[in-house]
Amino acid sequence: MNINQNYLNLKDNYLFAEIARKVKEFKAANPDKDIIRLGIGDVTLPLAPVVVDAMKNAAIEMGDAKTFRGYDDNQGYDFLKSSVAGYYAKKGVSIDENEIFICDGAKSDTANILDIFGADNAVVIPDPVYPVYADTNIMVGREASFIDGNIGNTFLPMPDTNVKFDIVYLCSPNNPTGAVYNKEQLKIWVDYANSIDAIILFDSAYEAYVCDDNLPTSIFQIEGAKKCAIEFCSLSKTAGFTGTRCGYTIVPQSLVRNEVGLNKLWRRRQGTKFNGVSYIVQRGAEAVFSEEGQNQTKEGIAYYMQNAKIISDALSKLGIWYSGGKNSPYIWLKCPNGLSSWEFFDLLLTKANVVGTPGAGFGANGEGFFRLTSFGDKDNIIEAMKRITDILK
């Protein structure tokens, strides 16, 4: 009996535990200080009324023999897949319903998708990065290569055409940097992936935050992407579903490798290892895509984006370099005065009583950077940026 020894190569992620420890210590020593959290990676606004109503009604249906639903054997109910297809149609993207897989969130599927790929594939991951991409590769014994995000490329790394690979992760709008690829940049990625037979795993979990109509919100808005890309999206940040759990993954029918359709492979994987998302949640998700749902959830996003503007305006005035904040709930800033990520964390905590997230927690290229998020209360954010301005100006 052996455990999966690859797990022993995982580094413990102490980032949020270490933040919590430092905050706790500071509070104990300074019980009168009012601490504001701008490090939170979770939404705070409640679900839209139309979503709540849909889930209440679905719960009632489940209590009635005439409308009760058992297993969802088809990777999502048709009503929700139809809503998702309609959402893509508005983006100018034609997606067939059997290309849509309803899931419990983008995290699960970006992790589980590796099941359908061979162990010998070369994987490329941008740094800084959402830790799940790297960790799930380590878990299967695969050593990924990293490509550099930095100020020089505004944290939007482009392919190095001297380097061949089989799989690349792209996340746009990016967590943690808030950077967003434009269509020309994504076209270069798609063309290169097609030229080397590679797959792009495209994480679009923050697509609803894109306000600039010229920026892409789906990789499938790029010509040729249906031959090289899988897209992962979620209602977590779009509609406050972090605790409600629903997402969707698009695997085009035209995506073929080794003469096998990846749509068929992923369907087999999900059919064998997953039993679908709760009917009640799927009805809530359907409501997000209704006209009323779109209006109500966009109000929430507008609130967060107003917060993001307060943060980024303050940083602009201070002359601090940052990315994000315009089409993303995240603001990724260069720590002033050459401070390291954790030195800046300590400075903000002790002098401004503001908590953020050290960029070093997102990879080597995050050192010297810092993430602020807009998922908080507006008045708190105004106060936090006033305090930060006071200590840095």
Between residue 44 and residue 63, which ones bind its own copies under the rule CB under 8 A?
A: 44-49, 51-52, 55-56, 59-60, 62-63
Distance of CA 278 to the CA centre of its chain: 22
By CB under 8 A, tell whether 132 contacts its own copies.
Answer: yes
Spatial separation of the C-alpha atoms in residues 257 and 235, rounded to whole Å: 29
User: What does the per-residue mask of binding to its own copies show for 88-127, with x meaning CB under 8 A?
Assistant: ----------------xx-xx--xx--xxxxxxx------
Instruction: State in angstroms the smallest separation of the CB of 230 from its own copies.
Output: 13
Please report the DSSP string for 308-331 in residue order: HHHHHHHHHHHT--EEESSSSSEE
By CB under 8 A, tell whether 65 contacts its own copies.
Answer: yes
Q: Helix 49-62 crosses helix 279-288 at what angle (to 10 degrees)?
A: 150
Cβ proximity to its own copies: between 47 and 310 the closer is 47
Instruction: State in angstroms the smallest separation of the CB of 310 from its own copies.
Output: 19
Residue entry with tokens 């941008």:
126
By CB under 8 A, tell whether 76 contacts its own copies.
Answer: no
Q: Helix 291-318 crosses helix 279-288 at what angle (to 10 degrees)?
A: 70
Instruction: State in angstroms the smallest separation of the CB of 280 from its own copies.
Output: 6
Residue of 19, 38, 43, 222 interacting with its own copies (CB under 8 A):
43
By CB under 8 A, tell whether 382 contacts its own copies.
Answer: no
Residue of 162, 214, 258, 337 interacting with its own copies (CB under 8 A):
258
Is residue 228 within 8 A of residue 213, CB to CB? The reply is no
Q: Which two tokens stand for residue 382?
A: 């105004």
Quick one: which segment of 6-14, 175-183, 302-310, 353-361 binds its own copies (CB under 8 A)?
6-14
By CB under 8 A, tell whether 242 contacts its own copies.
Answer: yes
By CB under 8 A, tell whether 265 contacts its own copies.
Answer: yes
Cβ proximity to its own copies: between 23 and 318 the closer is 23
By CB under 8 A, tell whether 379 contacts its own copies.
Answer: no
Region 295-314 residues binding its own copies, contact defined as CB under 8 A = none
Instruction: Tell me the CB-side half-sphere exposure of residue 84, using CA atoms within 13 A.
Output: 31
Q: Which residues pair with 147 in a beta bridge?
A: 126
- Amino acid, res. 290: S
Cβ proximity to its own copies: between 55 and 301 the closer is 55
- The three-state secondary structure class of 363 is coil
Residue of 29, 32, 34, 64 interacting with its own copies (CB under 8 A):
64
Is residue 188 within 8 A of residue 282, CB to CB? The reply is no
**Distances in Å between the alpha carbon of 187 and those of 134, 200, 254, 333?**
24, 12, 18, 27
| DSSP, res 46 | P
By CB under 8 A, tell whether 214 contacts its own copies.
Answer: no
Instruction: State in angstroms the smallest separation of the CB of 60 from its own copies.
Output: 6
